[in-house]
Amino acid sequence: MDYKSAKFKPTDKMGDLINHDYKLLLVMSRFGLSLGFGDKTVEQVCRENGVDAPTFLAVANFIHEGNNLMEANLSQISIPQLMNYLKQAHSYFLDFCLPAIRQKLLAAIDCSIHNEIAFLILRFFDEYATEVRRHMEYEDMNVFTYVAALLDDQRESNYSISVFARRHNQIELKLTELKNIILKYYPEQGNNHLLNAVLFDIFSCEEDLSSHCKIEDFLFVPVVRQLEKKKGII
Amino acid sequence: MKDDVMWIAVAESSAIVRHGMLEILKHFPDTPHPVQLIEVTSLEALDNCMQTHVPDLLIVDPAFEGWFNIDNFKADPQSANVKCIALLCSMVDQNLLRKYDDSISLYDDEEAIYGKISQLFHAAREDEADTDALSQREREIITCVVKGMTNKEIAEKLYISIHTVITHRRNIARKLQIHSPAGLTIYAIVNNLVELSDVKM
């Protein structure tokens, strides 16, 4: 990855953006942007796909800079588009990423009847996946519904985004724990290629979940608060 | 501390000083709590931060955006528990500094900065290393947790108070970096503290 300190701009080439930080591939696909963008700029690719470029760049720059910048003015962000991005991310984790890790885990650990540890690790993973699902479904059903209603001027009585912000916790910690358990306690075996592969996936899923939660805390919550202020709720 | 992570917000208008401070904090030796940083560039952003993501520690320039009102900040129930360290970029009245929990000067080195922060959180960084081994009592408690016993049941069985059980469990989580009963189960089986048949499913 090349060193790049300046923020990404609408006039940057999409290809350069991805080459600077390949994690942004995930951001692209969650915004519904696909590959094959040729030499087009961020602005062009976004416009052609009906994506709001400032919102895309706000997310891309937040992830790329990694400083957890709390901004005061987020008026450039489109709430419906950011919300859609978050929903897509949820579906990516629940319907693709976690099931894929489970598959690889199954292949990597010896699940024969004598291997108690393998059985417990799988159980641990399944419990964790259920927890993530609960966390994300709460957001889909309560938080996003509230915000959608707010955008339509149909506010439901006593909820506000601060309620969500205060109870919102990090969800990757248990995954960190699973990774540590495999690293420290999984009985040694001859070939570790499969196990390494699944560990790589867990590491990147962990990082991705963590940055996902931060986007909710540092972009989504503040921008919704801004909307609540504008509507005279707080 | 939310999720056992120490959240530190740095509020400073100078980009050079702010980024310098963040860079130093990024290398904070992360015991006993991993550190997460929040970059704050304006009072409005600080307000956003206090409404949505209350940090454990605020490192703020007393001259932040003209004048940082530490009295108001400490009086607000929302932020009353946040520890505050003054980041001194200019001369400041000593009386004003008393309202802060501590202060960092532009010329403090990394170790001095880490020391001040650790001290505020009573984190004895030095004696972490040699206490990593579990005590016999802690092993007993893991066995009970894995068998599905509640804190109350454990307290009764071992003739100790519930409070003591909770303290032991906290120490176990810190030493092993395992917080969930399911994770402890795996640890216990691998280390032959229990048999699979003892485990509550």
Q: What is the CATH number of the domain that holds B177?
A: 1.10.10.10
pLDDT in tens, B178-191: 888 888 888 888 88
Q: Tell me how far CA of residue A89 lies from CA of A62, A104, B94, in angstroms.
A: 15, 21, 50
> Looking at the structure, do residues B53 and B146 belong to the same domain, yes or no?
no
pLDDT at A141 over 50: yes
CA distance A31 to chain B (A): 25
Confidence class of residue A114 from pLDDT cuts 50, 70 and 90? low
Q: Is it the case that residue B121 has pLDDT exceeding 90?
A: no
Q: Structural domain boundaries of chain A? A: 14-74, 79-230
Contact B7, B57 (CB under 8 A): yes
Chain B CB within 8 Å of residue A116 CB: yes
pLDDT at B129 over 50: no
Claim to verify: residue B20 and residue B116 sit in the same structural domain: yes
Strand partners, B58: B9, B84
Residues of chain A contacting B186 with CB distance shorter than 8 Å = 117, 120-121, 124, 181, 185
- Report the mean per-residue pLDDT for chain B: 86
What local confidence, expressed as pLDDT, does residue A221 receive?
92
* Residue B1 belongs to some domain of the structure: no
In a domain, B189, yes or no: yes
* Selected residues 10-69 of chain A with any CB under 8 Å from a CB in chain B: 67-69
Q: Are residues B171 and B95 in the same domain?
A: no
- Is there a contact between B52 and A185 if contact means CB atoms under 8 Å apart? no
From the list B2, B5, B189, the residue facing A120 with the nearest CB is B189
The answer on B108 and B48 residing in a single domain is yes
Q: Are B115 and B29 in contact (CB under 8 A)?
A: no
Q: Does one domain contain both B125 and B184?
A: no
% residues pLDDT > 70 (chain A): 93
A117 closest CB neighbour out of B3, B183, B189: B189
Domain count, chain B: 2
Mean pLDDT of B100-125: 85
Digit-coded pLDDT (tens) for A15-26: 999 999 999 999
Containing structural domain, residue B80: 6-130
CATH number at residue B125: 3.40.50.2300
Question: What are residue A70's DSSP bridge partners?
Answer: B40
Angle at which helix A193-215 crosses helix A79-91, to 10 degrees, equals 160
Chain A residues with CB under 8 Å of B39 CB are 67-70
CB contact under 8 A, B189 and A124: no
B20 located within any domain = yes
Question: Looking at per-residue confidence, does B190 or A102 come out higher?
Answer: A102
B56 in a domain, yes or no? yes
* B97 neighbors B68 (Cβ within 8 angstroms): no
Shared domain for B95 and B188, answered yes or no, is: no
User: Do residues B41 and B93 make contact, with C-beta atoms less than 8 angstroms apart?
Assistant: no
Residues B26 and B125: their CA atoms lie apart, in Å, by: 17
Over residues A37-59, the pLDDT tens digits come to 999 999 999 999 999 999 999 99
Residues B123 and B143 in one domain: no
pLDDT, greater one: B94 or A48:
A48
Mean pLDDT on A112-128: 80
| pLDDT attached to residue B11 | 94
Using the predicted structure, report yes or no on whether residue A166 has a pLDDT greater than 90.
Answer: no
Same domain, B90 and B68: yes
Are residue B192 and residue B106 in the same domain, yes or no? no
Task: Count Cα neighbours of A4 within 13 Å in the Cβ-side half-sphere.
Answer: 17
Read off the pLDDT of residues A194-218 as tens digits, 9 standing for 90 and up: 888 988 999 999 999 989 999 999 9
Q: Tell me the HSE value of B97 on the side-chain side, using a 13 A CA sphere.
A: 13
Q: Mean pLDDT check: name the lowest of A82-86, A121-125, A185-189, B108-112.
A: A185-189
Residue B18 domain flag = yes
Number of Cβ atoms within 10 Å of the Cβ of B57: 21
- pLDDT at residue number A19: 92
pLDDT tier at B127, thresholds 50, 70, 90: very low
> Could you tell me if A19 and A37 are in contact, meaning their C-beta atoms sit under 8 angstroms apart?
no
pLDDT of B111 above 50: yes
Looking at the fold, whether B31 and B83 belong to one and the same domain comes out as yes
pLDDT tier at B22, thresholds 50, 70, 90: very high
Nearest one of A64, A82, A85, A67 to A22, comparing CA atoms: A64
* Residue B50 sits in the same domain as residue B89: yes
Q: What residues of chain A lie within 8 A of the CB of B5, using their CB?
A: 170
B82 and B123 fall within a common domain: yes
Q: Work out the minimum CA distance from A106 to partner chain B, whole angstroms.
A: 17
Residue B8 pairs in a beta bridge with B37, B57
Query: pLDDT tens digits for A66-78?
Result: 778 887 778 889 9
